[in-house]
Amino acid sequence: MMLHHVPDESVDTQNQGWSQNHRNRLLRLAKCLSPKVVTLVEQESNTNNLPFLPRFVETMNYYLAVFESIDAALPREHKERINVEQHCLAREVVNLVACEGAERVERHELLKKWRSRFEMAGFTPYPLSSFINCSIKNLQESYQGHYTLEERDGALCLGWRNHVLVSSCA
């Protein structure tokens, strides 16, 4: 859940009037290392290239589901919950709605876009293991609430109610 911090072609990182695509460059460099498997885990939200108003709406909808899911799992006075909300989630939301250009580091993309980037870098999808699927389903059953976990086109999608929050694929 860190690739979304890497700037893409929409961010002028050197103020030279031209933009580099550091995301694609990083993936090509990773491919040169010849890894057996690369796992992608990222938020399933589309806030990278949206203008302010649609980005604001996307951010509010996404984080509403995130906060509702946390509310079902941990009591409001739980120390870890307070820490995550104040030091992680709050910073993400503020960065998404209050920053532009190179100052905005939260630039989520949907799994479909990440897959396209990985394919352009020379990676091919790796099938999910039935053991992994079974293990995650068992873990999911230990949580209360409306958490969802489904396999979509070779990816695992963890969600809250009908909103996918995190996607993972290899």
Domain count, the chain: 1
Whether residue 1 is contained in a domain is answered as no
Whether residue 56 is contained in a domain is answered as yes
Whether residue 96 is contained in a domain is answered as yes
Please report the pLDDT score of residue 18 as a whole number.
Answer: 42
Say yes or no to pLDDT of 69 above 60: yes
Confidence of residue 162 (pLDDT cuts 50, 70, 90): confident
Please report the pLDDT score of residue 72 as a whole number.
Answer: 86
Question: How much is the pTM?
Answer: 0.85
Six token digits for residue 151: 């396999």
Full domain range(s) for residue 78? 32-169
The one-letter code for the residue type at 120 is M
Whether residue 27 is contained in a domain is answered as no
- What whole-number distance in Å separates Cα of residue 89 and Cα of residue 65? 12
